[in-house]
Structure formats: C-alpha cells, structure tokens
C-alpha cells in the first residue's frame, strides 16, 4: 500500500495484487481481507480496491473524485461526471450533493462505500457530449462542461431532486454559462430539452442566455411540452415564448425583482407612500441596519419556509442580496456605515 501511495496511485485490482508476489488464491484473499479489516483499503466493486490514506481513515474512504476514473476503466465503460456533481465543480454548490453523479453508457448499480455514494445514470449520447478533463488529487476525471451540465439537469430533473432545485442550480451556474456554447449544443438535443432549458433560464431571469435559444427555436417546429414529464397539466396552457406547459410550481429563483419588467423606483414610491400614511419615515441606513440584523436571526430566516409548497426552495441569502441592491439602495439617505462589515 505504501508503495502505491508513494507512486501517486490509490487504486489497484485483485489481478495486480496477485502479480506482486508468489501467493496462492487463498493467501491473496486472506491478505485483502486483513487490509479491509484494518481500514487500509475498501472495495467499491469485487476485484477493485481503493487505498484509504490516513487523512480519510475516519471517513472510511477517500472522495469519489480520487478513484472514479480508475473505477470506470475497470468497468470498461465510458463516462463523465455531471448533474449536481459537475454543477458543484463549476461553482454552483448552494448545497453539496449527497451523491457523486455520473453519466455512463450502460446501467451500473449504485456504489456505496462508507460515506461515499456514486450514482449512475444512463445516457445514449456520450459520444456527443461536451466534457473536459479536470485535475484531481490522484490524476484527472472527465467532467461535463457547464453548458452540458445545464442540458443534463433538464434531461434528468429527478437526479436534482425537483425542478425548483434545478432552477436554483441554474441561477448559480449562470455566470459560468456561455450563450454561444448553449446555442452550439442545442442541435444535439431534443427540441423539448431546449424548450425546457430556455423556460428555466427565463424563470431565473437569465434572458441573455435564453434569447439565442428562443431565436433558434422560432426557426423550428416545436410542439407544446410539459415542464415536468409524467405530471398532469391540469388545464394549464403553454407559454408563448417556449411553448412549455407549466404543470409544476418552480421556486428557488430570484423571482420578479431581478427582471426589467418591474419598475423598482415605483416600488419604492409606493412603499414610502404606504409608511407615510402611518406617519413614519425610513432612511436607507435604518433599513439596511434592520435587515442586516434580521439576517442573523434564525427565526426570521426560517419563518417563510412553512408557508411554501414542499417543491419550492427558498434562498434567503439570494433574496436579501436582490432586495438590497434593487430596492433598499433606492431609499433616501446615505448607506448604513456598518454594511461593509
């Protein structure tokens, strides 16, 4: 084991282990059993072993990124890391995924080793997927580009938990997305995938990313599609821009405050008239100090959650940033001096 680690390797097969000495099959099995019992190695699949370095002895296994490339070569299957796992690698990590998600070309049973769980999803279009090599502590692994990740999340919404979570991840991933790259990938997917992606990008107010897709779709014969496949439409009508039937409530997005359709100055004017009726006056500094203090109050941050549908994700920090920049900054007076700290 020490020789493997010294050489930068953290995986080996039973065949490789047998070749290291003149041992019988029984003695090899006994030696591997002892190593597993001592916590020196784990076996994600029969015949494939991962060395557990000292720093991961309490966890019982190093991260999946350390051995996923070797494991997939052992399976002799093509693959790439995608969905929530690739989104996190690209910076969209509002919550760390509980499983390491991989797309491959044939079904594989889920891998569970100590706290590490690897989830496999089958894709018949791996040869047309856009991936990059990402360096890991032990080598490299194949990872979906940010744009490929966006399309994959639309194609496998169940892997993200629900569409509200997909919308949240899409919002966080937006700064890494290129409208040109999204458009270049569009012909490789079904029209319905492009429709749903564009619809979700609009929902999280990323019109600059969505507009080229809308123009591209307008030149093709798209049909109305359900936002969530397998759920009744309940008399919902398709929107005009994407021809998507919104048969599921999607939350976890910045909502209306982040769109040009809302006149922020008019909102502030209405607010000031409202409080004036009560004989009150609020300055920008007062409001900023008040809401900054509330953001430290757990009860304040959580009191809206029970009021939301179970499929809707509420991001308090995102809401705070939007309200602060779009509305509170328009209140009269100087900014609060303690805001920067």
CATH code at position 9 = 1.10.10
Give, in degrees to the nearest 5, the angle at Cα 211 between 243 and 186. 75
Residue 277 counted as domain residue: yes
**Number of Cα atoms under 13 Å in the Cβ half of residue 195:** 24
Name the domain boundary from 253, 268, 300: 253
C-alpha separations of 64 from 16, 156, 272, 279 in Å: 21, 21, 54, 61
Residue 84: phi and psi, rounded to 5, are -65, -30
CA neighbor of 193 nearest in space, from 132, 130, 148: 148
Contact between residue 92 and residue 147 where contact means Cβ atoms under 8 Å apart: no
Residues 274 and 292 in one domain: yes
Residues 236 and 323 in one domain: no
Residue 125: phi and psi, rounded to 5, are -125, 35
Residues 10 and 52 in one domain: yes
Strand partners, 144: 131
Strand partners, 121: 103
Residues 189 and 241 in one domain: yes
Residue with token string 């390491």: 100
Contact between residue 128 and residue 188 where contact means Cβ atoms under 8 Å apart: yes
Q: What tens-digit pLDDT sequence spans the chain (341 residues)?
A: 666 666 678 899 988 887 776 667 788 888 888 988 888 999 999 999 999 998 999 889 999 999 999 999 999 999 999 999 999 999 886 556 789 999 999 999 999 999 899 999 999 999 999 999 999 999 999 999 999 999 999 999 988 878 888 998 999 999 999 999 999 999 999 999 999 999 999 988 899 999 999 999 999 999 999 998 888 877 888 999 999 998 887 864 444 555 556 788 888 988 888 888 777 888 999 999 989 888 888 777 766 665 565 545 667 777 888 888 889 999 999 999 885 54
Residues 247 and 167 in one domain: yes
Please measure the distance between the N-terminal and C-terminal CA atoms of the chain and give it in whole angstroms: 49
Single pTM value for the model: 0.72
How many domains does one find in the chain? 3
The tokens of 214 are what?
A: 């809308």
Residues 167 and 245 in one domain: yes
Residue 244 counted as domain residue: yes
* Contact residues for 252 (Cβ-Cβ < 8 A; gap 6+): 164, 165, 167, 168, 171, 312, 313, 314, 315
Q: Which domain holds residue 249?
A: 157-253
Strand partners, 11: 50
Residue length of the chain: 341
Model confidence pLDDT, tens digit, residues 113-170:
998 999 999 999 999 999 999 999 999 999 999 999 999 999 999 888 788 889 989 9
Report d(CA 312, CA 308) in Å as an integer: 6
Phi/psi region, residue 79 (left: phi>0; alpha: psi -120 to 50; beta: rest), is beta
Give, in degrees to the nearest 5, the angle at Cα 261 between 259 and 264. 80
Residues 223 and 277 in one domain: no
CA neighbor of 250 nearest in space, from 310, 306, 318: 310
Residue 86 counted as domain residue: no
Name the domain boundary from 211, 237, 253: 253
Residues 320 and 232 in one domain: no
Name the domain boundary from 227, 253, 279: 253
């Amino acid at each position: 084991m020490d020789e493997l680690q010294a050489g930068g390797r953290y995986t080996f097969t039973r065949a490789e282990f047998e070749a290291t000495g003149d041992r019988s099959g029984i003695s090899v099995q006994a030696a591997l059993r002892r190593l597993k019992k001592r916590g020196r190695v784990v076996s994600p699949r029969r015949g494939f072993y991962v060395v557990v370095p000292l720093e991961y002895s309490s966890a019982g296994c190093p991260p999946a990124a350390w051995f996923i490339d070797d494991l997939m070569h052992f399976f002799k299957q093509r693959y790439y890391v995608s969905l929530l796992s690739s989104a996190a690698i690209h910076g969209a990590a509002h919550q760390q995924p509980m499983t390491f998600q991989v797309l491959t070309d044939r079904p594989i049973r889920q891998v569970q080793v100590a706290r590490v769980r690897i989830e496999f999803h089958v894709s018949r279009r791996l040869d047309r997927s856009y991936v990059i090599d990402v360096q890991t502590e032990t080598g490299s692994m194949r990872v979906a580009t940010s744009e490929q990740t966006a399309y994959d999340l639309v194609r496998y919404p169940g892997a993200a938990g629900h569409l509200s979570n997909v919308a949240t991840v899409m919002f966080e991933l937006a700064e890494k997305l290129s409208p040109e790259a999204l458009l270049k990938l569009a012909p490789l997917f079904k029209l319905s995938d492009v429709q749903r992606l564009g619809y979700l990008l609009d929902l999280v107010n990323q019109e600059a990313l969505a507009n080229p897709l809308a123009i591209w779709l307008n030149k093709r014969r798209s049909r109305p599609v359900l936002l969530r496949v397998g759920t009744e439409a309940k008399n919902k009508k398709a929107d005009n821009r994407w021809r998507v039937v919104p048969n599921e409530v999607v939350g976890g997005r910045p909502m209306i405050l982040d769109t040009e359709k809302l006149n922020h100055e008019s909102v502030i004017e209405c607010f000031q008239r409202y409080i004036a009726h009560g004989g009150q006056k609020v300055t920008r500094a007062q409001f900023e100090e008040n809401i900054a203090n509330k953001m430290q109050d757990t009860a304040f941050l959580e009191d809206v959650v029970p009021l939301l549908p179970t499929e809707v994700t509420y991001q308090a920090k995102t809401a705070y940033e939007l309200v602060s920049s779009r509305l509170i900054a328009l209140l009269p007076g100087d900014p609060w001096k303690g805001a920067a700290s």
